[in-house]
Amino acid sequence: MIEATELTKRYGGRTAVDRLSFTVRPGRVTGFLGPNGAGKSTTMRLILGLDSPSAGRVTVGGKAYADLPVPLRAVGSLLDAKGVHGGRSAYHHLAGLAASNGIPRRRVAEVLDLVGLPEETARRRTKGFSLGMGQRLGIAAALIGDPEVLILDEPVNGLDTEGIRWIRGLMKSLAAEGRTVFLSSHLMSEMELTADHIVVIGQGRLIADTAMRDFIETNSRAHTLVRSPEPERLRTLLEAAGAHVRLDARGGWRVDGPDAPSIGDLARDHGVAVHELTPAHSSLEEVYTTLSRSSVEYRAEDRPQEATTTRQKETAR
């Protein structure tokens, strides 16, 4: 369990994390979403006690990170910046971490096996590792202490589809074992498939802390895709019934307002043939983009200077 209370971090005049309060519970995968520069990585560093908060507090299992008796047995972490010395072998990296928390050396072979890094690869210096191998090493390091809580910053970065599927399965099974899994990602589609619960932030502030399904249902507008050989006639009918009709990118009409059964009935009553009738929800991607855009706009009025800085960063990127 991770609990943040009014967590705030300022760097000079810039507020990276702004009175953030949320709880990450065990037994499920909690996604941490936010655009680049929203404060995700800063929040994770604050949880790990690497940066100290300007105000507020954050605890893991009720304790500040620095007070954990055996940190790696409690929390496993993978940060965005790798934190591996390129000149050191993966094996020694893991052996050092094991030694630092009194974990038996044989655990190194176990986690290497778990993440699918062969022993001979692990004996090589990590400088030559591919992004995917580096990521597997990072996961191995996070799992070395068999921790109750996992904090992973962008774990699927640089992985191929097979690797992504592997991480997704691993996260779900870790959560199913009753662990707390907290992972950030900018890949909304990935989060939609992996997370049970999400914490969304924008510009350091909490936007949402809710179940994934509720989040999509509350925030996404349901619409219906309709295709007909008489598109103009159908549109006139629908608009007369008060529906909002737009052209969909895939052809056909995207109808907001009446649900699929009502549209079907309406078409039958007027003798219009319907070739396709598909109820649809906005994807998390769309919902998220809408939400974070409105958050940025809100902030732009609120604090003109900061919003400008963020935009410049985004332009630079």
Answer yes or no whether residue 45 interacts with other proteins by CB under 8 A: yes
Of the candidate residues 114, 193, 280, 307, the single one contacting other proteins (CB under 8 A): 114
**DSSP-assigned states of every residue in the chain:** -EEEEEEEEEETTEEEEEEEEEEE-TTEEEEEE--TTSSHHHHHHHHTTSS--SEEEEEETTB-GGG-SSHHHHEEEE-SS----TTSBHHHHHHHHHHHTT--THHHHHHHHHHT--HHHHTSBGGG--HHHHHHHHHHHHHTT--SEEEEESTTTT--HHHHHHHHHHHHHHHHTT-EEEEE-S-HHHHHHH-SEEEEEETTEEEEEEEHHHHHHHHSPPEEEEE-SSHHHHHHHHHHTT-EEEE-TTSSEEEESS-HHHHHHHHHHTT---SEEEEE---HHHHHHHHHHHHHHHHHHH-HHHHHHHHHHHHH-
Q: Does residue 79 bind other proteins (CB under 8 A)?
A: yes
Farthest CA pair distance, the chain: 76
Name which position in 37, 61, 96, 158 contacts other proteins (CB under 8 A).
96
Report if residue 129 touches other proteins, rule: CB under 8 A.
Answer: no
Alpha carbon separation from 306 to 38, 81, 203, 253 (Å, rounded): 12, 25, 9, 40
Minimum distance from CB of 6 to other proteins (Å)? 19
49 near other proteins (CB under 8 A):
yes
50 contributes a contact to other proteins by CB under 8 A = yes
Q: Single out the residue of 8, 15, 30, 77 in contact with other proteins (rule: CB under 8 A).
A: 77
Of 48 and 193, the one with the shorter C-beta distance to other proteins is: 48
Which one of 28-36, 87-95, 218-226, 238-246 is the stretch in contact with other proteins (CB under 8 A)? Answer: 87-95
Nearest CB to other proteins, comparing residues 78 and 188: 78
Segment interacting with other proteins (CB under 8 A) among 19-27, 98-106, 197-205, 287-295:
98-106
Q: Pick the binder of other proteins from 52, 130, 189, 218 (CB under 8 A).
A: 52
- Please check whether residue 266 is in contact with residue 237, taking contact to mean a CB–CB distance below 8 angstroms: yes
Instruction: Please list every residue from 155 through 174 that binds other proteins, using CB under 8 A.
Output: 169-170, 173-174
Q: At what angle do helices 304-316 and 284-302 cross, to 10 degrees?
A: 130
CB of 19 to other proteins, least distance (A): 19
Cβ 307 to other proteins, closest distance in Å? 24
Tokens of 272: 């219009």
* Binding flag, residue 57, other proteins (CB under 8 A): no
Minimal distance, residue 137 CB to other proteins, in Å = 11
Which residue's CB is nearer to other proteins, number 69 or number 118?
Answer: 69
- Binds other proteins by CB under 8 A, chosen from 17, 58, 72, 112: 72
7, 38, 137, 141: residue in contact with other proteins (rule CB under 8 A): 141
Chain contacts with other proteins (rule: CB under 8 A): 45, 48-52, 65-66, 68-73, 75, 77, 79, 81-89, 92-93, 95-97, 99-104, 107, 110, 114, 141, 143, 145-146, 169-170, 173-174, 176-177
